[in-house]
Amino acid sequence: MPTATRQQELEWAQSIIRPEEIEKYLDSSGRDFIDDERIIRQLADARNPDPQRVRAILDKSRAMQTLEPEETATLLQVEDPDLLEEMRCTGLDIKLRAYDNRIVTFAPLYMSNHCINSCTYCGFRRENEEMHRVRLSPKEIRAETRSLAGTFGHKRLIVVYGEHPLSDIDYLEESINTVYDVRVPTRKGHANIRRVNVNAAPLDVASLRRLKQVGLGTFQVFQETYHHDTYRRVHGRKSLKSDYAWRLYCMHRAQDAEVDDVGIGVLFGLYDWKFEVMGLVSHARELEKTWRGIGPHTISFPRLEVAHNAPGARGGRYAVSDEDFLKLITVLRLSVPYTGMICTARETASVRNEAVNRGITQMDASTRIGLGSYSTRYDDQEEERQQFMLGDARSVDELVRDLARMGYITSFCTAGYRIGRTGERIMRLLRSCHEGDFCKLNAILTFREWLDDFASPATKAMGEELIQRELAAARFRTPKLHQKFSDYYERTINGTRDLYL
Ligand code: SF4
């Protein structure tokens, strides 16, 4: 079992942050783009919004334009039930135009729970001596990947690491390469992981370039909280993570490194949820302004969950109710209309099903967050190995069936980054509502693969009905691509795998 001494940890921590990769992005007064007081003022000024103004803002969302912070503040302050329902319907309509009825599925794979930080809300925090520390070896990563790809049929992972010298950039590279190398036989073809997204600590430009070379999908870093004082309070003053600006500008560095597919997020429950939504929208706008209109490809909005031996994870004054949680999903959908939105298995099945009708686009399934738990256990949670506790234990098979019942097709598509549909290109397609032209067809192809290779009889029966409806609609929606798509579909039925447009 590899280890690092405290001295090695400290020396490593001192080598990570590069001040020149923060300062170049700050404004002329040396400030970052989150102005706490202005956000609080904007929220106060927006109280009791005029319905006419709200409807004008909804028109702007329908036109797929990112909202100004003042406009987001106005939506956040709506309390009238009828207006809230108009907002929900508009958000869902936007989602269906941009993403159609697809829900992309994925699984998290925790690679290492060693961490030098002390986030009060996290089970992995350094002081938690009851946490069983694990860094997966190549052999263990192969076993995990075989289960994820060969048992559940996943094609897309988000790999997760604590911040520690044992999970440095060398380990990130090695572990991702190991995942990509695994190939598993299935009923009719073979399965493998085709897209690895990364959720890790902020990296410098040189390290991000290395991840790009390995074949990174989306690079995800959550700010956790945009409120400066709260950030300091929950991350301590001396930890590596305590540098707010190093984290905030991580996505600027990603773009500098030509990693142009990025995901941002907040851990809701650390501070006032309306403030955090304003922070997310401000971040999206800042990225668009700085990087040729390229905003976040995804936004995540996990809520604080109980975590083992983590005092800051207990529900406090900023706990977000289900009602507010669903409202914030709607407001985010309306404020950043083009973005993908991820709702994870932290949430219960009923909340996630409702979130689908609010415009989310991605969900995980068959989720296990204990290290090594995909290949060693399938039926329970082990709090000494995981970061927090889960709310939705549905398998991929159950999720696919539930979504099909609701009229949604589960997509296992991973074509985007492999075919160069990232950055400006994906943003243009999403804003013009043309992304679905390709992605719906790829969703059908990958759904066909998954039904043939992995579905239970009940799910297959339900999936067949859905896929027949989708095939009939595809003929009219994308006539120019139809010949090629039909050819790919037939080949997929006959066992060819990983065909995409
Ligand atoms: S939230 Fe991340 S950085 Fe903080 S203790 Fe947990 S793993 Fe480490």
Q: What CATH number should be reported for the domain holding residue 98?
A: 3.20.20.70
Atom of ligand 1 nearest to the CA of 201: 3
Residue 159 inside a domain? The answer is: yes
Q: What is the DSSP letter of 299?
A: E
For residue 250, how far is its CA from the centre of ligand 1 (angstroms)?
Answer: 16
Other residues' Cβ atoms within 10 Å of the Cβ of residue 473: 14
For residue 134, how far is its CA from the centre of ligand 1 (angstroms)?
Answer: 14
Residue 189 inside a domain? The answer is: yes
Residue to mutate, 113, 120, 122, 309, ligand 1, most ligand atoms under 8 Å from C-beta = 122
Atom of ligand 1 nearest to the CA of 115: 8
Question: Does one domain contain both 436 and 414?
Answer: no
278, 39 Cβ separation under 8 angstroms: yes
Other residues' Cβ atoms within 10 Å of the Cβ of residue 15: 10
Tell whether the torsion through CA atoms of 176, 177, 180 and 184 is positive or negative: negative
> Domain boundary at 424, 458, 475, which?
424
* pLDDT per position as a tens digit, 387-399: 667 899 999 999 9
Residue nearest to atom 5 of ligand 1 (CA): 125
Question: Does one domain contain both 212 and 298?
Answer: yes
Atom of ligand 1 nearest to the CA of 164: 8
Atom of ligand 1 nearest to the CA of 239: 3
Question: Does one domain contain both 250 and 144?
Answer: yes
Residue 165 inside a domain? The answer is: yes
Angle, CA of 202, 364 and 391, to the nearest 5°: 100
Alpha helices by DSSP H, listed for 129-272, are: 138-146, 169-181, 205-214, 228-235, 244-248, 250-256
**346 CA to centre of own chain:** 13
Report the distance separating Cα 360 and Cα 423, nearest Å.
Answer: 20
Residue position matching structure tokens 């243009």: 428
For residue 387, how far is its CA from the centre of ligand 1 (angstroms)?
Answer: 8
Q: Identity (one letter) of the amino acid at 500? A: Y
pLDDT of residue 377: 59
Residue to mutate, 117, 160, 199, ligand 1, most ligand atoms under 8 Å from C-beta = 117
Question: Does one domain contain both 345 and 275?
Answer: yes
Residue nearest to atom 2 of ligand 1 (CA): 162
Res. 109 pLDDT band, cuts 50 70 90: very high
Q: Is the pTM of this model over 0.85?
A: yes
Residue position matching structure tokens 């043939």: 452
For the chain, the average pLDDT equals: 93
pLDDT at 311 over 80: no
485, 501 Cβ separation under 8 angstroms: yes
pLDDT at 385 over 80: no
Tokens matching residue 142: 């192969």
Question: Does one domain contain both 357 and 447?
Answer: no
pLDDT at 308 over 60: yes
**142 CA to centre of own chain:** 23
Mean pLDDT of 53-82: 97
Atom of ligand 1 nearest to the CA of 162: 7
Report the distance separating Cα 485 and Cα 294, nearest Å.
Answer: 29
Select the more confidently predicted residue: 381 or 83. 83
217, 200 Cβ separation under 8 angstroms: no
Tokens matching residue 221: 């870093």
Residue nearest to atom 3 of ligand 1 (CA): 117
Residue 302 inside a domain? The answer is: yes
Residue to mutate, 113, 114, 119, 371, ligand 1, most ligand atoms under 8 Å from C-beta = 119
* pLDDT per position as a tens digit, 418-464: 888 888 888 888 898 887 778 899 999 999 999 999 999 999 999 99
Closest CA to 112 of 223, 270, 4: 4
For residue 267, how far is its CA from the centre of ligand 1 (angstroms)?
Answer: 12
Closest CA to 311 of 161, 128, 160: 128
Tokens matching residue 434: 């043309």
Question: Does one domain contain both 357 and 484?
Answer: no
Angle, CA of 290, 292 and 293, to the nearest 5°: 90
pLDDT at 417 over 90: no
pLDDT at 42 over 90: yes
Residue 49 inside a domain? The answer is: no
Residues 6+ apart with CB under 8 A from 479: none
Closest CA to 390 of 403, 413, 373, 407: 373
Atom of ligand 1 nearest to the CA of 235: 4
Select the more confidently predicted residue: 476 or 250. 250
pLDDT of residue 130: 87
Question: Does one domain contain both 436 and 372?
Answer: no
Q: Which residues line ligand 1 (CB under 6 A)?
A: 115, 117, 119, 122, 124-125, 162-163, 241
For residue 486, how far is its CA from the centre of ligand 1 (angstroms)?
Answer: 47
For residue 252, how far is its CA from the centre of ligand 1 (angstroms)?
Answer: 21
pLDDT of residue 378: 44
Question: Does one domain contain both 358 and 256?
Answer: yes
Residue nearest to atom 4 of ligand 1 (CA): 119
Question: Does one domain contain both 120 and 207?
Answer: yes
Q: What is the DSSP letter of 147?
A: I
Residue 499 inside a domain? The answer is: no
390, 369 Cβ separation under 8 angstroms: yes
Residue 43 inside a domain? The answer is: no
Question: Does one domain contain both 437 and 385?
Answer: no
Mean pLDDT of 186-195: 94
pLDDT of residue 223: 98
For residue 277, how far is its CA from the centre of ligand 1 (angstroms)?
Answer: 21
Mean pLDDT of 161-190: 96
pLDDT of residue 3: 82
**Full residue range of the structural domain in which residue 486 is found:** 430-493
Question: Does one domain contain both 420 and 482?
Answer: no
Question: Does one domain contain both 414 and 446?
Answer: no
- Our count of domains for the chain comes to 2
Mean pLDDT of 243-262: 97
pLDDT of residue 478: 78
Residue to mutate, 112, 161, 163, ligand 1, most ligand atoms under 8 Å from C-beta = 163
Residue 244 inside a domain? The answer is: yes
Residues 6+ apart with CB under 8 A from 7: none
